[in-house]
Amino acid sequence: MFNKLFLAKPVTPGKVYGAPGAGYSGFISLTTAVVLIALWFLVTSMGWIKPIFLPSPFAVYNKFIEAWTEGVANSTLLQHTMTSLGRVMGAFFLALVTAVPIGVLMGVNRLVRGVFDPIIEFYRPLPPLAYLPLVIIWFGIGEFPKVFLIYLAIFAPMAIAARAGVKSVSIEQIHAAYAMGASSRQIISHVILKAALPEIFTGMRIGIGVGWTTLVAAEMVASSRGLGFMVLNAAQYLASDTVIMGILVIGFFALIFDLLLRHLEKVLIPWKGKV
Amino acid sequence: MTAPMGSLSVRGVNVTYPALQHGGSVVALKDVNLEINPGDFVVALGASGCGKTTLLNLLAGFLSPTQGKLLLNGQPITGPGSDRGVVFQKHALLPWLNVMENTEFGLKLQGVDKSRRRTIAARNLELVGLKDFHHHMIYQLSGGMQQRVGIARALTCDPAMLLMDEPMAALDALTRETIQELLLDVWQHTHKMFFFITHSVEEALFLGSRLIVMSPRPGRITNTYELDFNKRFLETRDARAIKSSADFIKMRETILGIIYGDERAAGQPEIMHV
């Protein structure tokens, strides 16, 4: 039955024979979203699924209004959101100012690469939940260990991206700069760092995504505020409407930040993918 | 133009690379001697593996010889420097800078103030026919225009010598002929030393005032010819007439014979046990 979707069609006049999967898929994605939401309305309004497993969209919306005005778990939604935003953004900027220089240095310096490579490669695949207890034992239950956990999760992909970015400079570009009298320091700042920018931006996008993913883990222990805490707290009372509302809010901010970075990338790195 | 004038000598140069297998070594260049004077347009031609690019890397200072000496102005070449500009096969321009910024890049690195470096860069861009493209980004240009920027950029530091490693290999035939003529104009205008690598016999004959033919295994200079086709072009401006003249064709066949002989002899391993 899927034959039609995958079948290569004969060339229509004026069209070039394309690669498989070519063409715009935005409308299909929009349809998927609309169908899923419609299904959500359908199964809840028909009572096919109990509200404790899947509350209706109206219940989630009401919960959102309630959380916004009166608050849930002792804080308003705005307070939860600002707390979590502060943690994720704090960790993100901390990672940005440390991971990018270290990643670039790993690309251009044998010693730095030798020192950091085993550390990053060892902890990178570990789930943050696995080293969360250690972070708490070491740094206690204040604000720092929460930011630090998110920071660790963001650091690895950003450093790896910056290091990979260094490799995207061609030897001809470096030779050309040397033949114009550049010093090694100028080669790094004027050529290698600029050439690495597209990859660094990709690392930032991956990093901010990972940051939101790690948020709930960071707010698991000894939190009294935050979107992750709000979701976990609600789960203990089987308040599925708050859980879903929290997930949607987290998803919304993750999406906004990704779109923002994508836009910045287009403005700041117009040459990406063109040379 | 006030160019730092001088000559370049390559004396008894050998380059040996360690081989990847068998623990032996590859002789990339063997006993190469070459004198280049101001105003010389030296073209190196030869089958792949003959050491053309190795020789260029030596002149640029990207590589040190195993034996022998390279002198520029009587001073040994110890590394790359702004007295030798390089134009690459792939343009090697910086895509985050526009045409003007790419051209003035070398002077910016040297701390030359903005108005002065803009003046120099603008003059070189005009020389290569890109007067109206200062603000274009590199990816908005055709391959031929990118190579023009590469030439303008290499000239901006006012080097004594311009080194070109097959700069036209990736261009289509028509663009190639235009850039060839442009190069001869730049050569006549600047009177610098040019060292140019190519695979194309016709290009080599048309451009060079001296042609060195190189052979592989081991890489060495086997024949040297003094040529005047480039001067004939600068007088007559008729490239087609020169390239179809009897002496040009005769010369072309002679040199093709040498190179085809090398290509046929290929196929033996390049490893020499030392």
Domain boundaries, chain A: 23-54, 60-268
The nearest CA of chain A is from the CA of B112 a distance in Å of 12
| pLDDT 10s digits, B10-36 | 999 999 988 777 777 888 999 999 999
Identify from B93, B109, B137, B149 which residue to disrupt to test chain A contact, counting A C-beta atoms within 10 A and taking the largest count: B109
Cβ distance B92 to A269 less than 8 Å, yes or no, reads no
Q: Which residues of A are less than 8 Å from B105 in CB distance?
A: 177, 180, 190
Q: Which residues of A are less than 8 Å from B60 in CB distance?
A: 175, 179
| pLDDT 10s digits, A176-214 | 999 999 999 999 999 999 999 999 999 999 999 999 999
Confidence (pLDDT) at B76: 94
Closest Cα to residue B23, out of B274, B222, B229?
A: B274
Nearest to A172 among B85, B88, B154 (CB): B88
Whether the pLDDT of residue B209 is over 60: the answer is yes
Taking the C-alpha atoms of residue A26 and residue B42, their distance in angstroms, rounded to an integer, is: 57
Nearest to A179 among B84, B96, B137 (CB): B84
The nearest CA of chain A is from the CA of B108 a distance in Å of 10
Q: What is the mean pLDDT of residues B165-186?
A: 93
| pLDDT 10s digits, A162-180 | 999 999 999 999 999 999 9
Instruction: Please give the residue of chain A at the shortest CA–CA distance from B109.
Output: A182
**DSSP assignment string, A233-261:** HHHHTT-HHHHHHHHHHHHHHHHHHHHHH
Cβ distance B139 to A271 less than 8 Å, yes or no, reads yes
Q: What is the mean pLDDT of residues A117-129?
A: 94
Closest Cα to residue B187, out of B199, B175, B196, B174?
A: B196
Closest Cα to residue A229, out of A31, A12, A19, A84?
A: A84
Confidence (pLDDT) at B63: 93
Nearest to A180 among B62, B139, B157 (CB): B157
Cβ distance B80 to A270 less than 8 Å, yes or no, reads no
Q: Which residues of A are less than 8 Å from B80 in CB distance?
A: 175, 178-179
HEC sequence for chain B:
CCCCCCCEEEEEEEEEEECCCCCCEEEEEEEEEEEECCCCEEEEEECCCCCHHHHHHHHHCCCCCCEEEEEECCEECCCCCCCEEEECCCCCCCCCCEHHHHHCHHHHHCCCCHHHHHHHHHHHHHHCCCCCCCCCEHHHCCHHHHHHHHHHHHHHCCCCEEEEECCCCCCCHHHHHHHHHHHHHHHHHHCCEEEEEECCHHHHHHHCCEEEEEECCCCEEEEEEECCHHHHHHHHCCHHHHHCCHHHHHHHHHHHHHHHHHHHHECECCCECC
> What domains lie within chain B, and their CATH numbers?
1-83+161-274 (3.40.50.300), 93-158 (no CATH)
Confidence (pLDDT) at A8: 57
Confidence (pLDDT) at A226: 95
Helices (H), chain A: 3-6, 26-45, 57-69, 77-108, 110-123, 128-139, 143-167, 171-178, 184-186, 193-218, 227-236, 240-268
Instruction: Please give the residue of chain B at the shortest CA–CA distance from A187.
Output: B109
Confidence (pLDDT) at B271: 47
Whether the pLDDT of residue A57 is over 80: the answer is yes
Decide the pairing of beta strands B75-76 and B67-72.
Answer: antiparallel
pLDDT: is A231 or B260 the higher one? A231
Confidence (pLDDT) at B36: 95
Nearest to B109 among A170, A180, A194 (CB): A180
The nearest CA of chain B is from the CA of A78 a distance in Å of 41
Confidence (pLDDT) at B274: 40
Residue B211 banded pLDDT, cuts 50, 70, 90: very high
Whether the pLDDT of residue B264 is over 80: the answer is no
Whether the pLDDT of residue B253 is over 60: the answer is yes
Confidence (pLDDT) at A274: 78
With contact defined as beta carbons under 8 Å apart, do A198 and A165 qualify?
Answer: yes
Could you tell me the strand order of the sheet in which B161-165 lies? Answer: B84-87, B161-165, B193-198, B41-46, B210-215, B220-226
Q: What is the mean pLDDT of residues B75-98?
A: 92
The region that residue B173 occupies, defined by phi over 0 for left and psi between -120 and 50 for alpha, beta otherwise, is: alpha
Instruction: Please give the residue of chain B at the shortest CA–CA distance from A176.
Output: B86
Confidence (pLDDT) at B2: 36
The nearest CA of chain B is from the CA of A189 a distance in Å of 11
Whether the pLDDT of residue A158 is over 90: the answer is yes
| pLDDT 10s digits, B225-241 | 999 999 999 999 999 99
Neighbours of A149 (CB within 10 A): 27
Nearest to A271 among B81, B96, B110 (CB): B96
Query: Which residues, at least 6 apart from A169, have a Cβ–Cβ distance to it below 8 Å?
Result: A191, A192, A195, A196
With contact defined as beta carbons under 8 Å apart, do B128 and B137 qualify?
Answer: no
Tell me the β-bridge partners of B155: none
Identify from A173, A180, A265 which residue to disrupt to test chain B contact, counting B C-beta atoms within 10 A and taking the largest count: A180
Mean pLDDT across chain B, nearest whole number?
Answer: 90
Nearest to A275 among B81, B139, B153 (CB): B139
In CATH terms, the superfamily for domain A60-268 is MetI-like (1.10.3720.10)
What's the complex ipTM?
A: 0.89
Whether the pLDDT of residue B99 is over 70: the answer is yes
Q: What is the mean pLDDT of residues B49-75?
A: 93
Decide the pairing of beta strands B8-18 and B67-72.
Answer: antiparallel
